[in-house]
Amino acid sequence: MSRPLLQAPRLWVGEAADAQPRRATWLELFYDLVFVVAVSQLAHKLGGDVSPKGFLSFVALFIPVWWAWIGTTFYANRFDNDDLIRRVLMGLQMLAIAGLAVNVHHGLDSSSAGFALAYVASRLMLVLEYLWAGWHISKARGLTNRYAIGFGLGALLWLVSVFVPAPLRFILWSAGLTIDLITPLIAKTMLKQFPPHPEHLPERFGLFTIIVLGEAIIGVVNGVSEMSWNVMSSLSAIAGFVTAFSLWWIYFENVSGSALETAQTSGRIRILMLWLYIHLPLVIGLAATGVGVEHLIQAAGKGVLLDADRWLLCGSVALCYFSLAVLHRMGVIFQCKGRTRHRLIGLAAMLGLGLLGGNLTPLQLGSLVAAMGLGQISLDIYQGKPQGFIQNNQI
């Protein structure tokens, strides 16, 4: 049976969520492909400058790219429908994200106007989607209007920034992003009525986490392919892969939708907010880890590891451990005091390597970072976990 080309947006959450299983759609998976490119370009930019200034530039450009993905994901979580209008708007959003990727390398200087216009375009499509959903779903209009106004105001500041010089341009970017980021907080009362779908959202966050983890695998491949094949670079590549694999393991072994189910049934929107915002430093750390792994492998071939490269790898993995510790402690993923301690130990170890590891060879550093990852996995396996991720039962 053929579907009509035009369909009204449907509500997937609240009372409408009962007996409606949700999975990522083919359109959402296709949409993710453009973020693979955007994250890759961001990582490439960081790889060209791993100084503290270069890292801050990477973070400044990563946040709007990540927030563009968040906006579309949360809209789809509540109101997705696969009709002609939805597909066209998603296609236009993909073009806008491609524009962000194209302008990343000089996004804070000569290409900043292009970066801003691409971000404005992506937000405009999202605002139109929220207005369209509110038009058809009257009981959700309070939420959709609030989002449309907040995101629209943020996009307006980005648009104005195109016509003013730096540093005022970047001040407007910061103000626009601040409005974007606090809009869900302002709509907290509405979120209790329309919490996100607890099955669909963890899957979508997991898919984005896979995208940024992919940068670590790319880092391994690039690091080896750009160097003469030798024992040191090969062993460092193995250590880099183990580091990426361990981060994948300790995230996906502990992620669960139970926290969001708790938020849905109890009205504890704080869990949802933590889920959203603490994933930002996590994915930043994961993406930067990939760059750090690549530089480690290249340094192993040359026999010299720069301080900036050591800090990039150790600091990025430390950021991942910190984010995971918070997620564990607050019950956003598997709530466990033991795992929280393990991640904090990993955080301290990475910072210690950054501070005291100046005399380590690239292979020695990579091996120690990988060993800590394997240690985290071993502690989780030894500790085990309750069947079914029983929420609020702390170990």
SS3 assignment for 206-242: HHHHHHHHHHHHHHHHHHHHCCCCCHHHHHHHHHHHH
Q: How many C-beta atoms lie closer than 10 Å to residue 86's C-beta?
A: 21
The answer to whether the beta carbons of residues 391 and 262 sit under 8 Å apart is yes
User: How much is the pLDDT for 261?
Assistant: 62
pTM of the model: 0.91
The answer to whether the beta carbons of residues 173 and 161 sit under 8 Å apart is yes
User: How much is the pLDDT for 129?
Assistant: 93
- On the CB side of 15, CA atoms within 13 Å amount to 2
- Percent of the chain, pLDDT > 90? 56
User: How much is the pLDDT for 3?
Assistant: 59
Residue 138 one-letter amino acid: S
The pLDDT-based confidence of 275 (bands split at 50, 70, 90) is: confident
Q: What average pLDDT does range 149-159 have in this prediction?
A: 96
User: How much is the pLDDT for 192?
Assistant: 72
The mean-pLDDT minimum among 195-204, 239-248, 369-378 falls in: 195-204
Q: What torsion do the CA atoms of 257, 259, 261, 265 make, to the nearest 10 degrees?
A: 180
Name the residue among 9, 192, 200, 169 with its Cα closest to residue 89.
9
In the predicted structure, residue 172 carries a pLDDT above the cut 50: yes
User: How much is the pLDDT for 118?
Assistant: 97
In the predicted structure, residue 214 carries a pLDDT above the cut 80: yes
User: How much is the pLDDT for 271?
Assistant: 74
Name the residue among 198, 243, 250 with its Cα closest to residue 17.
198
Dihedrals φ, ψ of 10, to 5°? -115, 155
Greater confidence (191 vs 63) lies with 63
CA distance readout (Å), 368 to 240, 245, 349, 357: 10, 15, 9, 10
The pLDDT-based confidence of 386 (bands split at 50, 70, 90) is: very low
Q: What is the pLDDT of residues 70-119, one digit of tens each?
A: 999 999 888 888 878 889 999 999 999 999 999 999 999 999 999 999 99
Q: What average pLDDT does range 224-252 have in this prediction?
A: 85
- Percent of the chain, pLDDT > 70? 88
User: How much is the pLDDT for 183?
Assistant: 92
Greater confidence (327 vs 195) lies with 327
In the predicted structure, residue 222 carries a pLDDT above the cut 70: yes
* Average pLDDT of every residue of the chain: 86
User: How much is the pLDDT for 245?
Assistant: 94
Q: Tokens for 16?
A: 């409408």
